């Protein structure tokens, strides 16, 4: 830990690499315990870099067999992080051979094994665990790869680029596009291929393959369809065509993240590829579509144009998330997608930005880069792109993107490069806008208004609270999309974007016959916390009349939060405004069922805890949970007839289809069931569980049964039915923990960790149970601290095995500062216990250190 603190990397220290890599050739002879990797690299001095003459290569956990420069033994000095040796200041050939043991690699970084299959994960710094190399994103080279393996166990051998020649037990691949090492990939195993093809805009035929374990080939069709739609969409919307003859995707069961965009060979967590109606929910289908698109879109935003250094991570991630959000909106519903994205942003990014882990979209230092694949870099990074697009308009955005691809293809770039294309393409000065990349924290935007002599005025004030390392902030450019409504519900001013740039700024709207009702921050036009004094009546009015679907939903959400807050603090009963507004929305058949489902859903307990904290109230997790249960019951009672009718009317006539229309109807039907099962003794849920022919209905019913009384019988039935399906079993684990009553959650989780199927080294399974407990707000924070203890125990156990996943999950504790003194002490004690663990990884040490502050 102390050593780690000394090794922070700083953005300001960036220097180019002294050499260019003209060509990289790898020969990988696979063996579980003794894989041999021979690398041959042609180096030449970098004219834009510091003086050449010393070769520094990154390397970790490698057994060096030999190393030569121009055929003569190299004079290498090896340390824990790589090797150094004197090298010519002119071009030379480097060759080295190392040995590694993929079967012992439980960290799932570098070359590792999953169910007998070899696979790799090199982002961010995994390639250095495969061979000695300048493992940094600004070093790019074309790669050729030869793989050798036992053909009996590994008949399929894959790498980046195009296949060239192959024989029994070997195959060669060539990737003509220069790439950084983090995009390297290799897969070998007994795999089957779901094949298809795609003709690009210019008429090139691309072979598409999704490679899975035998038996899973029937679960690839949806992912393949999503891939083809993504390829067509990127051509139509961004003019981006695929650039190799082959595009392969491999599904892997053991994976730390969601998926990885390796050039021409994407590797996916199998949960984001495999789907059948019986085993995947509507939500799974939606996630598969979004993640397939995300990884594919990286081919241009990430691979063809990559990052100069890891501080620029948002350059590829923010933009690619923004692109996948656009795609999903186009495929489904823009309104519902936007609401979903904002829900995620608030749940993950606002939570992060309002706690000890707050950091800028472009951080300035890190100890372990894997800890910076965060909601801020990804989700806030995407919001920043959305704001830019709003500010420069659709055409300006398109012109800037065209210029970006033209100017920077094949380069490793920075946020400065990115902003410059917008400035050059649109003539806009983005100096102040850049603060979105450099300042951390969520800006607070408050608004007051007055109305005199037919003139309506809005007075804004912005302020960003201090965050770690940033006590003071300058004002940001905040695009506020605004519409005005008349008291009769008509729109008197359609959406217009106000640009707030000052700490205090006012806007005037003359010619208003009556006092308008403002619809502010339409479409959630900036990632800020907006405060405005407003009445329940006005919120109900906006819920009924706002033409902006996001703000219509937001009005209902704010109403619900007010109601819940008053239930928690004053034990107040929900008022009639909220319930009657909810009834109107629920009954409004002109509204998308998925929108209605979102309007009926209550804010999460964690969201309420933050909301109460923001208003100066220390959140009591049990009180929040109790209020939410009460309010759900009240809604169910009040709307029982409407919900019952909806539940019956939305029953699907034909066979299951994952298409958005059918999924949206199921979303509302399931929301209705969730409420109805609180008052019907569980009869509908029992029936739905017994009759379900698809996982959405089956799991939805099981959730209701577990919440009602533990659902022991249904839980056992479900297990018997799905014991052999790893992905379905993850859901079984997660549901029991997620829906356990507050007092039982830690016990339920502890019991499940004893279950024979609790394979804790598998990240998905670990997250299902331990992450599931963290996600059960009242359960995790139950009095006594058993939840904290259990999570800490398991993170301590996981850390030496898989530091990356353990470190990521320490964020379950990031909100400790919100709670009462008892809980704060217990959470801090749990963190201190993790911190005191001997040999704690650099990953977890950095996270725990930052969380404790
Ligand atoms: N770049 C991938 C996600 C990813 C990031 C980091 C990883 O290991 C530290 C693995 C995957 C994406 O954005 O999809
Ligand atoms: Zn990404």
Model confidence pLDDT, tens digit, residues 105-158 = 999 999 999 999 999 999 999 999 999 999 999 999 999 999 999 999 999 999
Q: What are the tokens at 81? A: 């992080």
pLDDT of residue 349 exceeding 60, the answer is yes
801-822, pLDDT tens digit by residue?
999 999 999 999 999 999 999 9
Question: Is the distance from the beta carbon of residue 257 to the nearest atom of ligand 1 less than 6 Å?
Answer: yes
Question: Is the distance from the beta carbon of residue 377 to the nearest atom of ligand 1 less than 6 Å?
Answer: no
Question: Is the distance from the beta carbon of residue 260 to the nearest atom of ligand 1 less than 6 Å?
Answer: yes
552-581, pLDDT tens digit by residue?
999 999 999 999 999 999 999 998 889 999
> Which residue has the least CA distance to atom 6 on ligand 1?
123
- Bridge partners of residue 479, in order along the sequence: 499
**What's the pLDDT score for residue 207?**
98
Q: Under DSSP, is residue 823 helix (H, G, I), strand (E, B) or coil? A: helix
**What's the pLDDT score for residue 4?**
42
How many angstroms separate the alpha carbon of residue 742 from the centre of ligand 2?
35
Q: What are the tokens at 562? A: 């007010």
Question: Is the distance from the beta carbon of residue 307 to the nearest atom of ligand 1 less than 6 Å?
Answer: no
How does the average pLDDT of the chain come out, rounded? Answer: 97
Pocket perturbation via mutation, ligand 1, pick of 109, 110, 184, 259 by most ligand atoms within 8 A of CB: 259
How many C-beta atoms lie closer than 10 Å to residue 572's C-beta? 14
Q: Which residue has the tokens 């030569």?
A: 68
How many angstroms separate the alpha carbon of residue 28 from the centre of ligand 2?
27
* Cα–Cα dist 283/597, whole Å: 14
Q: Which atom of ligand 1 is nearest to the CA of 302?
A: 1
Pocket perturbation via mutation, ligand 1, pick of 122, 127, 257, 303 by most ligand atoms within 8 A of CB: 257
Residue 455 gets which letter from DSSP? E
Asked if residue 407 lies in contact with residue 421, where contact means CB atoms within 8 angstroms, the answer is yes
How many angstroms separate the alpha carbon of residue 439 from the centre of ligand 1?
24
Asked if residue 378 lies in contact with residue 318, where contact means CB atoms within 8 angstroms, the answer is yes
Asked if residue 455 lies in contact with residue 508, where contact means CB atoms within 8 angstroms, the answer is yes
Residue 811 gets which letter from DSSP? G
What ligand is nearest to the CA atom of residue 260? Answer: 1
Question: Is the distance from the beta carbon of residue 370 to the nearest atom of ligand 1 less than 6 Å?
Answer: yes
Question: Is the distance from the beta carbon of residue 123 to the nearest atom of ligand 1 less than 6 Å?
Answer: yes
> Which residue has the least CA distance to atom 1 on ligand 1?
260
63-119, pLDDT tens digit by residue?
999 999 999 999 999 999 999 999 999 999 999 999 999 999 999 999 999 999 999
**What's the pLDDT score for residue 7?**
85
How many angstroms separate the alpha carbon of residue 791 from the centre of ligand 1?
24
593-637, pLDDT tens digit by residue?
999 999 999 999 999 999 999 999 999 999 999 999 999 999 999
> Using 50, 70 and 90 to split pLDDT, how confident is the model at 236?
very high
Pocket perturbation via mutation, ligand 1, pick of 252, 295, 324, 373 by most ligand atoms within 8 A of CB: 373
> Which residue has the least CA distance to atom 12 on ligand 1?
260
- Bridge partners of residue 148, in order along the sequence: 29, 170
Question: Is the distance from the beta carbon of residue 305 to the nearest atom of ligand 1 less than 6 Å?
Answer: no
How many angstroms separate the alpha carbon of residue 182 from the centre of ligand 1?
10
Task: Tell me what the mean pLDDT of segment 704-733 comes to.
Answer: 97
**What's the pLDDT score for residue 576?**
85
Q: Which atom of ligand 1 is nearest to the CA of 291?
A: 14
* Cα–Cα dist 237/401, whole Å: 11
Q: Which atom of ligand 1 is nearest to the CA of 260?
A: 2
Asked if residue 630 lies in contact with residue 567, where contact means CB atoms within 8 angstroms, the answer is yes
pLDDT of residue 397 exceeding 90, the answer is yes
> Which residue has the least CA distance to atom 4 on ligand 1?
260
Q: Under DSSP, is residue 224 helix (H, G, I), strand (E, B) or coil? A: helix
Q: Which atom of ligand 1 is nearest to the CA of 321?
A: 13
How many angstroms separate the alpha carbon of residue 8 from the centre of ligand 1?
21
Asked if residue 452 lies in contact with residue 472, where contact means CB atoms within 8 angstroms, the answer is no
How many angstroms separate the alpha carbon of residue 294 from the centre of ligand 2?
6
Question: Is the distance from the beta carbon of residue 124 to the nearest atom of ligand 1 less than 6 Å?
Answer: yes
**What's the pLDDT score for residue 3?**
43
Task: Tell me what the mean pLDDT of segment 334-359 comes to.
Answer: 98
Asked if residue 46 lies in contact with residue 56, where contact means CB atoms within 8 angstroms, the answer is no
Q: Give me the sheet containing 205-212, strands edge to edge.
A: 192-199, 205-212, 246-252, 265-269, 259-260
499-556, pLDDT tens digit by residue?
999 999 999 999 999 999 999 999 999 999 999 999 999 999 999 999 999 999 999 9
* Cα–Cα dist 405/415, whole Å: 14
How many C-beta atoms lie closer than 10 Å to residue 470's C-beta? 17
What ligand is nearest to the CA atom of residue 320? Answer: 2
Question: Is the distance from the beta carbon of residue 294 to the nearest atom of ligand 1 less than 6 Å?
Answer: yes
* Cα–Cα dist 33/35, whole Å: 6
Pocket perturbation via mutation, ligand 1, pick of 123, 266, 294, 314 by most ligand atoms within 8 A of CB: 123
* Cα–Cα dist 154/512, whole Å: 74
Query: Closest Cα partner for 256 from 801, 754, 790?
Result: 801
How many angstroms separate the alpha carbon of residue 138 from the centre of ligand 2?
17
**What's the pLDDT score for residue 652?**
87
ipTM above 0.85, yes or no: yes
Pocket perturbation via mutation, ligand 1, pick of 110, 120, 122, 260 by most ligand atoms within 8 A of CB: 260
Q: What are phi and psi of 391, to 5 degrees?
A: -75, -40
Burial class (CB in 10 A: 0-12, 13-18, 19+), 452: exposed
**Can you say whether the dihedral through the CA atoms of 45, 48, 54, 57 is positive or negative?**
negative
* Cα–Cα dist 92/509, whole Å: 70
Q: What are the tokens at 66? A: 């030999």
**What's the pLDDT score for residue 5?**
47
Q: Which atom of ligand 1 is nearest to the CA of 316?
A: 13
Q: Under DSSP, is residue 520 helix (H, G, I), strand (E, B) or coil? A: strand
**What's the pLDDT score for residue 577?**
83
Q: How far is CA 71 from CA 64, 67, 74, in A?
A: 16, 9, 9
729-784, pLDDT tens digit by residue?
999 999 999 999 999 999 999 999 999 999 999 999 999 999 999 999 999 999 99
783-792, pLDDT tens digit by residue?
999 999 999 9
How many angstroms separate the alpha carbon of residue 462 from the centre of ligand 2?
31
* Cα–Cα dist 51/26, whole Å: 27
* Cα–Cα dist 511/505, whole Å: 20
How many angstroms separate the alpha carbon of residue 474 from the centre of ligand 2?
30
- 295 flagged as catalytic: yes
> Which residue has the least CA distance to atom 13 on ligand 1?
317
Question: Is the distance from the beta carbon of residue 850 to the nearest atom of ligand 1 less than 6 Å?
Answer: no
Q: Which residue has the tokens 């970098």?
A: 46
Query: Closest Cα partner for 247 from 202, 296, 282?
Result: 296
How many angstroms separate the alpha carbon of residue 313 from the centre of ligand 2?
9
433-473, pLDDT tens digit by residue?
999 999 999 999 999 999 999 999 999 999 999 999 999 99
- Bridge partners of residue 207, in order along the sequence: 197, 246
Asked if residue 500 lies in contact with residue 477, where contact means CB atoms within 8 angstroms, the answer is yes
210-225, pLDDT tens digit by residue?
999 999 999 999 999 9
Question: Is the distance from the beta carbon of residue 317 to the nearest atom of ligand 1 less than 6 Å?
Answer: yes
Query: Closest Cα partner for 353 from 383, 375, 378?
Result: 375
> Using 50, 70 and 90 to split pLDDT, how confident is the model at 294?
very high
How many angstroms separate the alpha carbon of residue 121 from the centre of ligand 1?
9
Q: What are the tokens at 765? A: 């399974």
Exposure b/e, 752-762, CB count within 10 A at least 16 = b: bbeeeebeeeb
> Which residue has the least CA distance to atom 8 on ligand 1?
123
What ligand is nearest to the CA atom of residue 808? Answer: 1
Q: Which of 295, 368, 554, 638 is labelled catalytic?
A: 295
Longest pairwise C-alpha distance within the chain: 89
Question: Is the distance from the beta carbon of residue 259 to the nearest atom of ligand 1 less than 6 Å?
Answer: yes
**Can you say whether the dihedral through the CA atoms of 836, 840, 842, 844 is positive or negative?**
negative
Question: Is the distance from the beta carbon of residue 548 to the nearest atom of ligand 1 less than 6 Å?
Answer: no
> Which residue has the least CA distance to atom 3 on ligand 1?
260
What ligand is nearest to the CA atom of residue 291? Answer: 1
* Cα–Cα dist 458/450, whole Å: 7
* Cα–Cα dist 514/284, whole Å: 48
Q: Which atom of ligand 1 is nearest to the CA of 369?
A: 9
Q: What are the tokens at 671? A: 């929301």
- Bridge partners of residue 647, in order along the sequence: none
């Amino acid at each position: 830990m102390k050593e780690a603190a000394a090794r922070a990397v700083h953005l300001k220290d960036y220097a180019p690499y002294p050499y260019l890599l003209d060509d990289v050739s790898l020969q990988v002879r696979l063996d579980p315990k003794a894989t041999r990797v021979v690398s041959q690299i042609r180096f030449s001095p970098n004219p834009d870099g510091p003086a050449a003459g010393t070769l520094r290569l990154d390397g970790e956990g490698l057994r060096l067999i030999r190393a030569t420069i121009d055929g003569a033994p190299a004079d290498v000095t090896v340390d824990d992080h790589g090797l150094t040796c004197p090298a010519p200041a002119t071009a030379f050939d480097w060759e080295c051979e190392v040995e590694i043991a993929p079967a012992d690699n439980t960290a799932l970084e570098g070359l590792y094994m999953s169910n007998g299959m070899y696979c790799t994960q090199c982002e961010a710094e995994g390639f250095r665990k495969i061979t000695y190399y300048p493992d940094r994103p600004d070093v790019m080279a074309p790669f050729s790869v030869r793989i050798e393996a036992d053909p009996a166990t590994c008949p399929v051998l894959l790498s980046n680029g195009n296949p060239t020649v192959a024989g029994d037990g070997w195959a060669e691949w060539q990737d003509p596009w220069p790439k950084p090492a983090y995009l390297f990939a290799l897969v070998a195993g007994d795999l089957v291929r779901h094949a298809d093809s795609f003709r690009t805009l210019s008429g090139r035929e691309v072979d598409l393959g999704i490679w899975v374990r035998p038996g899973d080939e029937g679960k690839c069709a949806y992912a393949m369809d999503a891939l083809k739609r993504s390829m067509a969409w990127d051509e139509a919307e961004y003019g981006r065509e695929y650039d190799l003859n082959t595009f392969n995707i491999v599904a892997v069961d053991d994976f730390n993240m969601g998926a990885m965009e390796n050039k021409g060979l994407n590797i996916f967590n199998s949960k984001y590829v495999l789907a059948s109606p019986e085993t995947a929910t509507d939500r799974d289908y939606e996630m598969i579509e979004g993640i397939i698109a995300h990884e594919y879109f990286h081919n241009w935003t990430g691979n063809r144009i990559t990052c100069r250094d890891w501080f620029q991570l948002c350059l590829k991630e923010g933009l690619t998330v923004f692109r996948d959000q656009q795609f999903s909106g186009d495929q489904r519903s823009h309104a519902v997608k936007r609401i979903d994205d904002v829900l995620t942003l608030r749940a993950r990014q606002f939570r992060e930005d309002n706690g000890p882990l707050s950091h800028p979209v472009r951080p300035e230092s890190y100890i372990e880069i894997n800890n910076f694949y965060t909601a801020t870099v990804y989700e806030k990074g995407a919001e920043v792109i959305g704001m830019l697009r709003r500010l420069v308009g659709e055409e300006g955005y398109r012109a800037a993107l065209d210029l970006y691809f033209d100017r920077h293809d094949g380069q490793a770039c920075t946020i400065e490069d990115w902003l410059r294309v917008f400035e050059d393409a649109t003539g806009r000065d983005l100096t102040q806008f850049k603060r979105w990349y450099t300042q951390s924290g969520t800006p607070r935007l408050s608004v007051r208004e007055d109305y005199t002599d037919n003139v309506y005025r809005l007075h804004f004030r912005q302020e960003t609270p201090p965050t770690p390392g940033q006590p003071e902030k300058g004002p940001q450019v905040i695009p506020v999309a605004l519409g005005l409504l008349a008291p009769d519900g008509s729109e008197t001013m359609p959406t217009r974007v106000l640009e707030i740039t000052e700490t205090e700024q006012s806007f005037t709207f003359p010619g208003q016959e009556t006092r308008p009702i403002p619809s502010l921050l339409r479409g959630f036009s900036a990632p800020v916390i907006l405060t405005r004094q407003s009445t329940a009546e006005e919120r109900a009015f906006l819920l009924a009349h706002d033409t902006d679907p996001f703000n219509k939903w937001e009005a209902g959400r704010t109403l619900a939060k007010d109601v819940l807050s008053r239930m928690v603090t004053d034990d107040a009963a929900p008022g009639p405004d909220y319930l009657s507004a909810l009834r109107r929305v629920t009954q409004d058949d002109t509204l998308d069922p998925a929108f209605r489902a979102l309007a009926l859903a209550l804010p999460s307990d964690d969201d309420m805890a933050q909301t109460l904290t923001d208003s100066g109230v220390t959140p009591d997790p049990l009180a929040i949970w109790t209020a939410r249960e009460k309010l759900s019951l009240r809604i169910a009672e009040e709307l029982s007839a409407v919900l019952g009718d909806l539940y019956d009317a939305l029953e699907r006539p034909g066979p299951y289809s994952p298409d958005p229309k059918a999924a949206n109807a199921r979303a509302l039907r399931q929301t209705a069931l969730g409420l109805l099962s609180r008052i019907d003794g569980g009869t509908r849920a029992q029936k739905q569980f017994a009759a379900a022919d698809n996982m959405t209905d089956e799991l939805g019913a099981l959730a209701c049964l577990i919440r009602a009384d533990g659902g022991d019988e249904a839980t056992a039935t479900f297990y018997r039915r799905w014991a052999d399906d790893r992905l379905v079993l993850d859901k079984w684990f997660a549901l029991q923990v997620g829906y356990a009553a507050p007092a039982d959650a830690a016990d339920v989780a502890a019991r499940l960790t004893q279950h024979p199927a609790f394979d804790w080294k598998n990240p998905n399974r670990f997250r299902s149970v331990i992450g599931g407990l963290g996600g059960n707000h009242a359960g995790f924070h139950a009095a006594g601290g058993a939840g904290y203890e259990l999570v800490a125990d398991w993170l301590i156990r996981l850390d030496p095995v898989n530091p990356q996943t353990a470190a990521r999950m320490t964020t379950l504790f990031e909100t400790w500062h919100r709670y009462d003194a008892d809980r704060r002490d217990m959470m801090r004690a749990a963190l201190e216990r993790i911190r005191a663990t001997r040999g704690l990884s650099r990953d977890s040490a950095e996270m725990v250190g930052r969380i404790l502050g």
